[in-house]
Amino acid sequence: MADPLLVAARETLEESLDEIRSTIDGLTVEQLNDRAAGEGTNPVGVIVTHALESTRAWLSIAVGAEPPPRDRPAEFRAVADDAFPAWVDTRIAGCLALLDGAGPFDPSYEARAPWRVTDADTPVTAAWALLHALAHLGEHVGHTHVMRDLLRVHR
């Protein structure tokens, strides 16, 4: 029987990832890169890039998998192009696959997250990584909704 916590996490994850997909659906490359809230803010493409890379990294720790290489600062310099929707679909599939392929969940498993802005050398538990992945993704789903609304007003 699958771990009920991972089943619930996957359902929650899938809802947020569907929101990411629907938010970018129909946006042009120009809109994906538009800083509709002004200079110094992040466009939808950057928010989505960061959200998916972060989610994949934290989920890796949550399920005891090797975290993928990650260049967090580069995520905030991302520029969406015509291939962006396909890239998003690939990342979404990868995030879901991490939970689908997970063995028994060990909430006390610990690993380091070298991409962390602070405390990169302090290990986090799988439980913390799982909860953080879901909460952080949800926060950025909200950001993409706000940015999409601003794009409607901005144009």
Count of the separate structural domains present in the chain: 1
**pLDDT score at 101:** 87
Which structural domain, as residue segments, surrounds residue 86? 4-154
The confidence band for 153, taking pLDDT boundaries of 50, 70 and 90, is confident
Dump pLDDT digits (tens) for 49-100. Answer: 999 999 999 999 999 999 999 999 999 999 999 999 999 999 999 999 999 9
- Concatenating the DSSP letter of every residue in the chain gives ---HHHHHHHHHHHHHHHHHHHHHTT--HHHHT--TT-TTS--HHHHHHHHHHHHHHHHHHHTTPPPPP--HHHHTT----TTHHHHHHHHHHHHHHHHHT--S--TT-EE--TT-SS-TTS-EEHHHHHHHHHHHHHHHHHHHHHHHHHHHHH-
CA distance 33 to 15: 24
Q: Is the pLDDT of residue 13 over 80?
A: yes
- Rounded mean pLDDT, 100-111: 93
- Rounded mean pLDDT, 15-32: 97
**pLDDT score at 155:** 61
Nearest-Å Rg of the Cα atoms of the chain is 16
Q: What is the CATH number of the domain that holds 70?
A: 1.20.120.450
Q: What does the mean pLDDT of the chain come to?
A: 95
